[in-house]
Structure 1
C-alpha cells in the first residue's frame, strides 16, 4: 500500500477535529474553467494542466480514433493525489484491456498541504477557499469530450473521491452514465441531491471502516449517511421498486477470507435502465488491500451501464 495513501484516514480525522467546517453548497468558490489542451496525449499516458490543475490521461493503443470510446475518471481521497490513487487501484491495465480513455485529475491543496475535493458539507473542504469542484469536474469532462470521441462517462472515487462521485451524479447526471464509490457517501440530506436523469451507482462500503463509518457518522459538525441510507437514497432517485436480489459474493481483498464481499443488486423499476448495486466488504477497512480483481469487477459494473 502506498505510504501516504495509508495516512488518509488519520488526516481526515485530524482535519475534521481541528477545523469547523462550513457547507460547500452555495459557498462554493469559482474554479478555473478547464479547456481542451493541445498537450493531451493521442496515445499512451501524459500529464497536462487543465483549469490550473494537473490531469493525467491514458489513451490505450487499442482505441480506434474513428470510433467513440468510454471515459473513466478516477477521483482520489483526501490527502492523497491522482498518481497515488492510480497506483492503489491500478486502472491503467483495465484501460488497456477494455479500451477506455482514462483520466485521473488532482484536487485542490488546502491549508494543511493536502489535496481534496469539495464534495459535500461533510467532506472535505475543511477551510477556505472552497472551490466549486462540481463545476470544475463537469467542465473537465466537457474538455476531454472535446478532445476525444467519448460516448459515455463513468466516475470512480475513493473516500473523499467517493463523496465527490456522488456529488457529480447529483449535479451533472446529464453527463454521467454511472459511478462507483469506495467508502464514500452522498449528502446526508437527500433533498440536496436532485439528479436530472437516472445514474447507475455502485456503492462499495467496508463494514469495519475506521474513517467513514459503515453506520454513518459526522466529520466535524456535518453528518454523512450510513451505507444503507446512501444506497436507499439512490434507489429512490432512480425510481427502483424492488427489494433487491443477492448475487454471488466476490473475493476482492487479499487479507480477508475468500468471497468476503457480499453483493446486492436493485434493478426492477429503475428508470432508464439504471441500476444500484451495493457491495459490502465484510471486515474490510477504509483502505482495503485489494487484488487486481477489484479493478476488473468495478469496470465490469460500469461498462455494462450504457
Structure 2
C-alpha cells in the first residue's frame, strides 16, 4: 500500500511538472522575455563553426570588454545571436585567461544561468571569464529530434558557440589551451555535441544532461558529469524523461542514449582511460578514471537528487512553477567543475 501511494505521488508530481513546463514553454516561444537594458557591443559576423585554434595568439586585451556583465552578439547563418560576457574587475590586461562557456538549460537563458549557478563569483575568485550564450527560444538543438524549435528548424548551435568563442578571443586575451564548456540539462547535451564536433574545448562539465544524437568519432577529452539518480527529466538509468514526446510535433523532445554510466564508459574508451577509482561520501559517489595525456573522465552521482544544479541559488518563482527539483546540497557543482577545469588544460 505504501509503495502504491509513493508511486501515485510520483506520477502526480511528474504529470504536473510536465503540464506546467509545457505551458511555460508555449508562453516563452510565443513572446520574448523582457530583459533589462544591457551594454551591447557592435555586431560582428563570424563564419559558421569558427573557433580559435590551439596555437592562436591572445586577443588585443580586455579594453574592448567592460568590467562586469555585458551583452554581445554575433551573426551566424544569417541569425543574430546573443551572449552575455562576465569580466572580473581584476582581470590581467596582458596574461592569457581561461574562458568558461556556460550553457543554460531548456526554458532558461544566459541571464538566468548567470544569476543561478554562481559562475561570476567563481570567476572573481579564480580569475577567468564566463560567457553565457542564449539559445533560440530558450533551448538548444542537440539532435534531429531534441530539443524544441531549434531542433525542428535545424539550428546549428555548435557553429554559434564556435563563433562566440572566436569573437571573445578577439576582444580578450583568452588562453586557447584553457577554453571550457559547462552546461545544465539541454545545455549539457550541447556541451557533449561540442566535444563530438570540435576540438576547441579542453574539457566539458555536464550537469543533468547526456549525449544525444550522432557522435561517430570524437577526439579524447576530459569530462566531468554530475547527475542525480532520481532525475525524472533526464533519467540516470536511461528511461524516457517526463518531457519526452518521441521527438515529434512543434516542440520535439526525445531523450534517449542509454544510462548515464554507460555513456561515461564510452568517453573513457575514447580517452583510453584506466579502470575508474570509486569513492562514496554520504549521498555522493565519485568515479574517476585517469587517462593518457593528463585527461580524466569523472562521474559524480548524487543519490536521491532530481533534475537540478547542485549548490545553485534558491529556486526562483518561475522554477517553482515549473516543478523543478530544489538544488542538492551534497556538493557545489560550480566549484567542483571549475576545479576540474583548472586542473585539465589541453595537454594535461
Q: TM-score, normalised on structure 1?
A: 0.78
Matching residue within 73, 77, 84 for 1:49: 73
Matched, 1:294 2:315: no
- Kept in 2, the 8 Å contact 1:198–1:272? The answer is no
- Describe the superposition over 1:172-209 as per-residue Cα deviations: whole angstroms up to 9, x where unpaired: 1x2100011001111366xx2422x3210001111000
Counterpart pick for 2:147 among 95, 120, 124: 124
1:214 aligned onto 2:236:
yes
Aligned counterpart for 2:184 among listed residues 145, 158, 167: 158
Radius of gyration: which is bigger? 2
Distance 2:229 2:341 in 1: 23
* 1:76–1:82 contact (8 Å) kept in structure 2: yes
The 5-angstrom pairing of residues 247-266 of structure 1 reads 247=279, 249=281, 259-266=282-289
Task: Indicate the residue corresponding to 1:73 in structure 2.
Answer: 101
Alignment correspondent of 1:82 = 110
Task: Please say if 1:92 is aligned against 2:120.
Answer: yes
The alpha-carbon deviation at position 300 of structure 1 amounts to 0.8
What is the match of residue 298 of structure 2?
277
Shift of 1:230: 1.6
**Could you list the runs of 4 or more consecutive aligned residues of structure 1 that deviate by over 4 angstroms after TM superposition?**
11-15
Aligned mates of 1:186, 1:40 — CA distance in 2: 35
Q: Does the residue aligned with 2:86 lie in a helix, a strand or coil?
A: strand
Contact 2:64 2:172 in 1 (8 A): no
| Candidates 158, 162, 167, aligned match of 2:193 | 167
Deviation at 1:11, TM superposition (A): 7.1
Backbone CA RMSD of aligned residues = 2.8
Structure 1 residue 248: Cα displacement: 5.6
Q: How does 1:195-214 map to 2 (within 5 A)?
A: 195=218, 197-214=219-236
Per-residue CA distance 1:259-304 (angstroms, 9 max, x = gap): 422111000xx23211100000110010251458332122111111
- Check 1:220–1:236 CA distance in 2 against 1; reply closer, same or farther (3 A cut): farther
Question: How far apart are residue 159 of structure 1 and its match?
Answer: 0.4
Partners in 1 of 2:166 and 2:202 — Cα distance? Answer: 14
* Secondary structure of residue in 2 paired with 1:194: coil
What secondary structure does 1:217 align onto?
Answer: coil
Q: How big is the shift at 1:217?
A: 3.0
Structure 1 residues not aligned, in runs of 5+? 1-8, 19-31, 110-114, 250-258
Determine the structure 2 residue equivalent to 1:26: none
Is contact 2:142–2:213 with CA below 8 Å preserved after alignment? no
CA–CA distance in structure 2, aligned partners of residues 14 and 229 of structure 1: 30
User: Is contact 2:226-2:333 (8 Å) kept?
Assistant: no
Residue 46 to residue 207, structure 1, CA distance change in 2 (3 Å) = same
Distance in 2, Cα, partners of 1:99 & 1:248:
31
Counterpart position of 2:205 = 180
How many aligned positions are there? 263
Distance 1:289 1:145 in 2: 33
SS at match of 2:162: helix
Q: Which runs of 5+ in 2 are unaligned?
A: 1-16, 27-44, 51-58, 247-253, 309-325
Q: CA 1:247/1:302 → structure 2, altered by over 3 Å: closer, same or farther? A: farther
The more displaced of 128-137 and 222-231 is: 222-231
1:119 is displaced (CA, Å) by 1.2
- 1:68-107 C-alpha deviation (Å, 9 max, x unpaired): 0100010011111111122221110000001001110100
Whether contact under 8 Å (1:166, 1:179) holds in the other structure is yes
Q: How does 1:33-44 map to 2 (within 5 A)?
A: 33=46, 41-44=65-68
